[in-house]
Structure 1
Amino acid sequence: MYRDITLNDLLEQKKREPHTTIDVRSPSEFKESTIPGSINIPVFTDEERAEIGTLYKQVSKDVATKRGLEIFSAKLPTFIEEFKHIDTSMTVFCWRGGMRSKTAATVLDLMGIHANRLSGGIRTYRQWIVKELESATFKPDLFVLNGYTGSGKTILLHKLAKDGYPVIDLENLAGHRGSIFGQIGLEPNNQKKFDSLLLHEIEKVNDRPFVFIEGESKRIGKVLVHPFLYDKKENGVQIFIHLPVEERVKIILDDYDPKTSPDKFIDAFKMIKKRIHVPIANEIEIALDENNFNEAVKLLLEHYYDPRYKYSTTNEQREKNKIIQANTIDDAYGQLIELIKTF
């Protein structure tokens, strides 16, 4: 017989041994937010869930339940087979620890596959996340990477992480690069998913003496950075990366790859066009229409992003500022490593 476990039990078990959490909600629910590291083996697809929900509201609970059993019975062999490939202990969960996770755990038990069921479901987990973030403190000192748009701050974070330095990549957690073009090629996360991922990352680095982070604003795409972390960032050691505009254009083009989605770039540009001096805006529009992204990006940097960045950094704590003047991103990384040795 399967066993109901509390969230605390689950978190402790995940610390002790490899343990797989399985979200049995629909794919769209899983995409919206889940327990980090979970896999999705849904009892119902989005369409099936919608059908059952309609029957529940418009006909009756009994009719909806009967239809749900019909749908699930037809997919049982495939459902069970997916669990057979999991080689660790496991816990299934749904939204409130209700029928979907109960059905999944019961069927698995009948097939000789043991799985715990999370009591209270992901709703309990979300309540825990909110409570933890409300009382959170961030212990490490922060090295904050700043610079004009295209200065390779995210690239530097990735290089640092690869070399074993502690890093929190807020843009990655948000699924957004922070600018009006920031979601192109990405899938922006909502606040619930961001919060879960952020707390998970904080737990990994909170005992380190320092952490690298990018100098983000309070809002990144759809999400807000929590005050305890934002305030810590504002008071951290501010490192400013300066690269030639040509190098920055190259970094942006490599990152965004605008040729794969030119229409999205044009749509994003239209949102800021009125903020740019008309003759320059017309030049940018012509460049975009001609797929001359090199020229369009260069004009956007010089006439839109750079002036805005200068304004936003005038009130920084200048006594903490450290400047890295480099010709390439590799040069900047080398100087960054030498710089942190002095702390």
Structure 2
Amino acid sequence: MFRDITLDDLLVQKQREPHTLIDVRSPSEFQESTIPGSINIPVFTDEERAEIGTLYKQVSKEAATQRGLEVFAAKLPTFINAFKQIETSMTVFCWRGGMRSKTAATVLDLMGIHATRLSGGIRTYRQWVVKELEEATFEPELIVLNGYTGSGKTVLLHRLAKDGYPILDLENLAGHRGSIFGQIGLIPNNQKKFDSLLLSEIEKVKNCPYVFIEGESKRIGKILVHPFLFDKKEKGVQIFIQLPVEERVKIILEDYDPTTSPEKFIEAFNMIKRRIHVPIANEIEQALAENNFEKAVTLLLKHYYDPRYEFSSAKEPHFSNIVIKATSVDDAYNQLIKLIPTF
């Protein structure tokens, strides 16, 4: 018979040895929010879950249970085989530690595959995340990369990480780049998923003397950065990355690749069009219609993003502690690396 495991015991076990977490909820539930590092082996697909839920509400619990057993029985060989591929110890979980995880753990036990079940499910984990973030402090010094839109801050973060330096990439955790165009080509995360990912990333760098981060605002897409981290960022070492406009345009075009979904750029532009001087707005609109993205981005930087950035940064007395004037991202990175021993 399988046994339940508390979240505290699970966290200890994960630190002690390789351990696999399996989310047995539907794919859409898994995508919305899960425990970082988990894999998804669902008991029901989204469509099956909807069907069974409708039976539960409109017919009876017994009818829903019967249909659930029929659906699950048909996929048992595939379900069991997925678990046989896992070579570590494992724990299954669902939303509240209810029927889906109980069914999964029971079937696995009958097949000689040992798995524990997370008591309270992901709801218990979510409660723990909220509590941890409410009480969190962040000890490492934050080295904050600032700069106009397109200055290669994210590129620099990724290069720093590749070379072994500690970073927090909030835009990646949010699934959003922060601007009105920021979710194009990405899948934005909700606050629950962001919080879980953030807590996991903080755990990795909490003992580092310093951590690199971008100079984000309090809101990135739909998520909010927690006060303990935002306040720490405001007091960190501020570095301003300065690149020529043509380099910034090139970086933006490489990152967003507007040729793959030009309609999304037009849609996003229409949301800010009224904030731009009419003749310039018309020129941008025409450039987008002609797929002249280089011209459109250049105009957006000069007449929308740069003035807004200058207005907001003028309020920050610490804004330009260190300025890196570079001709390219490579040049900026080389200058940044030389500064690291001084932090």
- After TM superposition, the score normalised by the length of structure 2 is 0.99
What is the aligned partner in structure 1 of residue 309 from structure 2? 309
- Alignment RMSD, CA only? 0.8
Q: Is the 8 A contact 2:249 2:298 kept in 1?
A: yes
Distance verdict in 2 for CA 1:322–1:66, change over 3 Å: same
Are 2:97 and 1:126 equivalent residues in the alignment?
no
Q: Is the 8 A contact 1:23 1:42 kept in 2?
A: yes
Q: Tell me how far apart the structure 2 counterparts of residues 136 and 318 of structure 1 sit (CA, whole Å).
A: 25
Alignment of 1:188-207 (within 5 A): 188-207=188-207
Q: Deviations over 1:208-232 (max 9, x none)?
A: 1100000000000010000000000
Q: Deviations over 1:247-301 (max 9, x none)?
A: 0000000000000000000000000000000000000001000000000000000
Q: Tell me how far apart the structure 2 counterparts of residues 153 and 49 of structure 1 sit (CA, whole Å).
A: 42
Q: Tell me how far apart the structure 2 counterparts of residues 72 and 288 of structure 1 sit (CA, whole Å).
A: 50
Amino acid at match of 1:87: E
Uncovered stretches (5+) of structure 2, i.e. residues with no partner: none
Identical positions, percent: 81
What is the aligned partner in structure 2 of residue 79 from structure 1? 79
Q: CA deviation at 1:192?
A: 0.1
Amino acid at match of 2:55: L
Q: Is the 8 A contact 2:313 2:319 kept in 1?
A: no
SS across alignment from 1:211: strand
Alignment of 1:70-219 (within 5 A): 70-219=70-219
Alignment of 1:1-343 (within 5 A): 1-318=1-318, 321-343=321-343
Amino acid at match of 2:295: E
Q: Is the 8 A contact 2:22 2:41 kept in 1?
A: yes
Q: Tell me how far apart the structure 2 counterparts of residues 54 and 257 of structure 1 sit (CA, whole Å).
A: 42
Q: Tell me how far apart the structure 2 counterparts of residues 264 and 321 of structure 1 sit (CA, whole Å).
A: 37
Q: CA deviation at 1:132?
A: 0.3
Q: Deviations over 1:299-339 (max 9, x none)?
A: 00000000000011012233861000000000000001112
Q: Is the 8 A contact 1:237 1:320 kept in 2?
A: no
Q: Is the 8 A contact 2:35 2:196 kept in 1?
A: yes
SS across alignment from 1:315: coil
SS across alignment from 1:117: strand
Q: Is the 8 A contact 1:92 1:101 kept in 2?
A: yes
Q: Tell me how far apart the structure 2 counterparts of residues 288 and 315 of structure 1 sit (CA, whole Å).
A: 33
Q: Is the 8 A contact 2:240 2:320 kept in 1?
A: no
Amino acid at match of 2:160: L
Q: Tell me how far apart the structure 1 counterparts of residues 223 and 245 of structure 2 sit (CA, whole Å).
A: 29
Q: Size of the alignment, in residue pairs?
A: 343
- After TM superposition, the score normalised by the length of structure 1 is 0.99
Q: Is the 8 A contact 2:238 2:319 kept in 1?
A: no
Q: Tell me how far apart the structure 1 counterparts of residues 77 and 261 of structure 2 sit (CA, whole Å).
A: 40
Q: Tell me how far apart the structure 2 counterparts of residues 226 and 317 of structure 1 sit (CA, whole Å).
A: 22
Q: Is the 8 A contact 1:145 1:239 kept in 2?
A: yes
Q: Is the 8 A contact 2:4 2:117 kept in 1?
A: yes
Uncovered stretches (5+) of structure 1, i.e. residues with no partner: none
- Larger deviation: 157-166 or 318-327? 318-327
